[in-house]
Structure 1
Amino acid sequence: MTDAFMPRLPRRETVDRVPRPVDGEPGRFSVDATWGVIQPLHLPGGVVTVGELEVIEHLRHGGRVVDCRHQEYVDEGTIPTATAVPHERIVADLAPPDGPLPIVLFCNGPQCTATPKAVAALLDAGWSPATLRYYRGGMHDWVTLGLPVARADG
């Protein structure tokens, strides 16, 4: 939540929800800081929040990662091996974990509401908080830290 104490930049008419590479400047990205609503670090319900190192370790152990964004954003790139399940379809389309590892869910970043909505829907549907992890940094932090991005199959 922002207020007069912590005002944010006014929203641009057209926003980029994912950082964009700057042409001719490898490793440099343009970030649009005018969209979204800053999300809490810890979601209600007891789901553990993870950072990039935990996501990488999760992937190394064969853990599932779910991209909760709309397909138009997934098509621009996602975390390698991620499965795309839009947050509105998460309860209907996401199968529970088939092993001991939880499922890591993410979206566009700290100002995106898709993953918090998906987590809330799964908890409301009876999922245990222990079966889920929240990667709050999402594609925003993943990209700006120079981590690999996979293109959606098409």
Structure 2
Amino acid sequence: MPLSRLVLALALLVLAALPVRADELRVNITRERPTVTVTTAAGPVTIRREQDPDARLSGDWARVARDCPPFCIQPMVPAPGVTTIGELELLDLLEGGTAVVIDSRTRDWFTGGTIPGAVNIPYDEIGDRLGELGCEPDFEGWDCTAAREVALFCNGPWCGQSPSAIRVMIAAGYPAERIRYYRGGMQVWRLLGLTVIRP
């Protein structure tokens, strides 16, 4: 690469890393909502949309065909009583800070990038970790009368990890009406160009 192109590429990277004022954004979340700031363990993170009109999905996020099983299209409602939500509702939950947003994917996926403010409770560990969500152990398993509001997600409409976790939670006594399912998951979150962090 010629030196002038290298300098230009480095300059563009530096500019991309600079903070952008909300009133300077070209691509907002909604007409009235340019950004959302959420509290994370590492401090506040501002979620915004990708501003590069030439940005494209790549790698696993651009794949449209996966073997089914196990990567089958998931239902809109993974269990009776559970509410399925979209990105705006998930942003409300993150911004409000009252619900626990759970990335139910395995740790390798979580560390590769997640939604700001999400905590990782892998789908295959959720049954043993309900105490982190307000449930108390009892003689029959769990008493979830004080369970917190939660929202679970995984890799997208073809990912069965969060639906599996939701069914385990309900079977253990977690109230379905306190569970939200973000079906779009990381694939749709990335498709919309929303902020992803590496924990």
- Coarse TM-score class (shorter-chain normalised): 0.7 to 0.9
> What is aligned with 1:105?
152
| Residue 104 (structure 2) aligned to one of 42, 49, 68 | 68
> What is aligned with 2:9?
none
Determine which structure has the larger helix proportion and give its number: 2
Normalised TM-score (structure 2): 0.60
Greater mean alpha carbon deviation, residues 136-145 or residues 26-35: 26-35
Residues 138/97 of structure 1: CA separation in 2 closer, same or farther (3 Å cut): farther
The yes-or-no answer on 1:87 pairing with 2:123 is: yes
Q: Which runs of 5+ in 2 are unaligned?
A: 1-51, 136-145
> CA separation in 2, counterparts of 1:87 and 1:79?
16
User: Which stretches of structure 1, 4 residues or longer, exceed 4 Å deviation after superposition?
Assistant: 97-101
Give the partner amino acid of 1:50: I
Residues 149/26 of structure 1: CA separation in 2 closer, same or farther (3 Å cut): farther
> What is aligned with 1:18?
none
Percent of aligned pairs sharing the same letter = 38
The structure number with the bigger radius of gyration is: 2
Normalised TM-score (structure 1): 0.77
| Residue 64 (structure 2) aligned to one of 27, 33, 36 | 33
Residues 43/58 of structure 1: CA separation in 2 closer, same or farther (3 Å cut): same
Q: Which runs of 5+ in 1 are unaligned?
A: 1-23
1:8-66 deviation digits (Å, cap 9, x = unpaired):
xxxxxxxxxxxxxxxx9852113111121000011222100000000001111003210
> CA separation in 2, counterparts of 1:73 and 1:46?
28
> CA separation in 1, counterparts of 2:87 and 2:133?
23
Kindly indicate whether the alpha-carbon contact (under 8 Å) linking 1:97 and 1:103 is maintained by their aligned counterparts in 2. Answer: no
Query: Superposition RMSD on alpha carbons, in Å?
Result: 2.0
The yes-or-no answer on 1:142 pairing with 2:189 is: yes
